[in-house]
Chain A
Amino acid sequence: MIGEHLPIIVILTYCLAALLMPVAGLLHRKAPSILALIAGGGALVFSLMTLWKTLTEGAFSYSVGAWPPPVGIELIADPLSAFFLVVITLISTLVLFHAHFSDGAESGQQSISYYACVMLMLGGFSGIIGTADLFNLFVFLELSALAGYGLLGTGSGRAAHSAFRYLILGTVGASFYLFGLGFLYAETGSLNMGDLALILDATGMQTTARIAFVFIIIGISLKMALLPLHQWLPDVYTDAPAMSTALVAPIGTKVAVYALIRLMYDVFPSGPGDWAFPVHSILAFAGAAGIIWGSVMAIPQTNLKRMLAYSSVAQIGYIALGIGLATPFGYIGAVLHVFNHAIMKACLFLFSARLEKTGLGIRIDKLTPATRLRLPVSTACFVLAAISMIGLPPTAGFFSKWYLILGSYESGNWFYVVIILASSLLNAVYFFRIIERVYLGDTDEGSPKPVRVRLTRRNLALVTLALSILVAGLFNVWIVKSLIEPMVPAF
């Protein structure tokens, strides 16, 4: 009954919550964040139901307004989209949970518009994941991006300036995507993904379709901050309010990754004869360059958020590398890393949010054992996430890197194996710098009394995220076997 409507229900849940936000704001000061939490939880339940249905009954599609595709807009739920949907809704709900209990202290009006933007952004994200129509994807891309500019631009003037630069670059990216779409439509006369795949398969990749592909991929790469197009990311993540960064950073670039996977493997033909140039190798190389560049740039940073932002550039590199390898293990590694990195980054950025909220500051040289004594649980969670970022077993980060190394080995690219291992060392350099400060630094000059270690509602979300890093690591075989393997295309 509800089952067949699931793909659209997730999107509508967020959009309805965004509409109801002003009403909620009239009722009570805290009502918007409660409403956001309810909508997030509801969307999580619906996306889990979608995942369950795709795994038990196979992929299904939904025709909006009962217009059958390719004329009408189609929404699809297959293992790939359902998995990404669960990642997005899960992480965002945990971050919203954290935001609710850590006392946002925003005034009523501000929190109405803030949470309305959050809901619109998440609605856009789930729309990108749900849709099977390329123009619809553009609309959702811009919907989520516009709400995101609002979220990232609140607070200081510095944040507004970074968000403005992000807006300029993000619009260039989205417009490039739209421009490519124009070429593609002129060539094929269709916008439906499944229909396009059939047409392109029959006609082969003509010059127009190749131009379209290049514009579309450049546009999406800009949105996902792949190396030469990553310039907007560090500034935006550093200057934005901590809670916005914690919300956008783990999932914002991941939806672009989803669009990239969908287009490269499901829409455009991926045979070697279809291309005049090695698309996959270029993507893998850009990813590898991003890994090294992001990791090296993270080392000298003095601002914790900026360091984490550069590490995000590196992690996107891992994912792009996995997609570009075009082997089953590389694909599994990329998708698993999307999940793992979303958990880890949410955990790391929530720690920086706690630091900002408690007034300890986010400068790395201000981190001392006093930080650990003030925030024992949060620091422990941060360290666990940091260890996972470095990639020590049995944390989740180890396993996605393991699959990426297997994928590189499988395709005979020893160069990438070296890159991945070297980047783990670089990760260790910049994370151990902090771990050392927090655990082994000098404890003199009247350090505060240790706070009793307690599990409060305030750090419940952080602890859940930190524990799920371990759980995702220990159950990685189950995740790969039952969730990711059904979506791996034939290579």
Chain B
Amino acid sequence: MRVLVCLKQILDPDVPARDFEIDPAAKAAKRGGANLVTNIFCENAVETALQFREAAGDVKVTALCYGESSAEDCLRKAMAMTVDEACLVEREGNTNPDAAAVGQVLAAAISRLEQDGGPFDAVLVGRESGDWGTGQTGGVLAEELGRPALGFVESLRPGNGGITLRRQTDDGIEVAEAEPPFVVTITNNEDNVPRIPKTRDVMMSYRKPLRKMSPAELGLDGDEIRNGFSSFEVEEIFVPTDEVDCELAEGDTLDERVDQLAHKIHEVVASIG
């Protein structure tokens, strides 16, 4: 079986709010001193795919990214986590294409990889990205590929002639039987926290195959894809100023301070009735 994981490189979402700035001309975050990292849900997806491989045996896991050349780091890291092979579709410029454009590129790349290496039983994407986080790519990709999809999946296991999926809903867990090929979006749980690569695997990752292609090679309209915003664009972006003054409990003893806190909490709770 073959499983594909889509990875996106993003500006580190752990940048503290005080260091975060918007570039008004680009209508996007300033890079500043921030690192570029793999979106966390994509790493959860890699981990989920690797665990599926461990449970099912004979599974090849491929990582795919549409990004700038720096995104090669994300793919190398995935291979260090022991993903078998990787592919980078090189993005020109640093525009921020919308999900409609990204979905087209990823679908075209997937078709090309399938022509060459056979079909992917499962395509995994993150539930949303830590930068723009619109969480639309998985759905768009499913439609571009004409495959069924399920969101918020936390694990894949070999099942009754197909693949068994567990996914999170608002009030619990749903178990689904899926007939490949399909697309899922991956969410986090305690079991798919991404593994830390072993030193040896980090070294091995540089020997694994990393294929590169361009949107033009995939027969895509360069301009539309480059400029991205075919479906939506950012009209405006700003940093909200919503900091408030916090009244800290004061007093000489812990008892006094906790007493103040208790009275404040009680006041609010009592007002609800």
Say whether A associates with B.
no
Which A residues contact B (CB, under 8 angstroms)? Answer: none
Which B residues contact A (CB, under 8 angstroms)? Answer: none
